[in-house]
Amino acid sequence: MELDADNVLVEVSYRHIHLSKEHLDILFGDSYNLKIRKFLSQPGQYAAEETLNLKYGNKEIREVRILGPVREKTQVEISYTESLYLKINAPYRLSGDINGSPGIILIGKNNFVKIKEGVIIAKPHLHISYEDANKIGVKNGQVISIYVKSNRPRTFHDVIVRADYSDKVGLAVHLDSDEGNSACISGFAYGKILNQKIWDAPKQLHHL
């Protein structure tokens, strides 16, 4: 498909869990392999059949989807609305930046894990390859705006460009459920990239 900065896929990323290999083994058994429910727009990534319950204090959110493959560290991504329900002070950060974030209890059918940190509200971001980024004039770490075409059009600001060296990156903007709901997006929509400003990107921005 021809690259078109005026017609970029915008996806709603609902609450989900990324597990480390250690925690996957504890929750499901040694050498367990997640079962693929469906592949996602980013090559090699998928929604698994397996779910876990999140428990914080006396609040619980049930059947939260696990996304694969496994990561180096376990991470839980929720919306601001869900953080209010859980009464958890989840920071608003880029995916992968979990240092100092609150922990939570992950409950499976046969076991549970209490993580010390890992719960965040993910900032909106644009996945793009370096090749495509060069073509449309954006850079890794750049802060852009996205005008989303929907029944309730919205412009989302402070969207972070996450450019990757791989040419297999799926070009897509990811919003969380609060952002998606505000624009009446059911699953996905399309939007236009509006360039904004450049900031100093953290070194861990790549490959997360």
Instruction: For residue range 64-107, list pLDDT tens digits in order.
Output: 999 999 999 999 999 999 999 999 999 999 999 999 999 999 99
- Predicted confidence band of residue 206 (pLDDT cuts 50, 70, 90): very low
pLDDT value, residue 197: 57
Q: Which residues contact 122 (CB under 8 A, 6 or more apart)?
A: 13, 77, 93, 94, 95, 174, 176
Peptide bond into 43 cis (omega under 30): no
What are the tokens at 202?
Answer: 């953290």
Question: Domains in the chain, please, with CATH?
Answer: 15-122 (no CATH), 123-205 (2.40.40)
pLDDT value, residue 2: 66
What are the tokens at 152?
Answer: 């309730």
Angle at 37 between CA 162 and CA 41, to 5 degrees: 25
Question: Using one digit for the tens of pLDDT, what is the confidence trace for 18-40?
Answer: 999 999 999 999 999 999 999 99
Please give the model's pTM, rounded to 2 decimal places.
0.89
Distance CA 208, CA 204 (A): 7
Neighbours of 169 (CB within 10 A): 20
Distance CA 119, CA 93 (A): 10
pLDDT value, residue 165: 82
pLDDT value, residue 25: 97
Least confident piece of the model among 40-54, 73-87, 194-208: 194-208
Neighbours of 136 (CB within 10 A): 16
Q: Is the pLDDT of residue 53 over 60?
A: yes
Q: Which helix (H) or strand (E) holds 175?
A: strand 172-176
Q: Is the pLDDT of residue 116 over 90?
A: yes
- Predicted confidence band of residue 200 (pLDDT cuts 50, 70, 90): very low
Q: How large is the average pLDDT for residues 180-200?
A: 83
* Inter-residue contact 10 to 149 (CB < 8 Å): no
Pairing of strands 92-93, 16-20: unpaired
Place of tokens 């919205």: 154
Q: Which residue intervals of 54-205 are DSSP H helices? A: 80-86, 130-136, 177-182
Q: Is the pLDDT of residue 199 over 60?
A: no
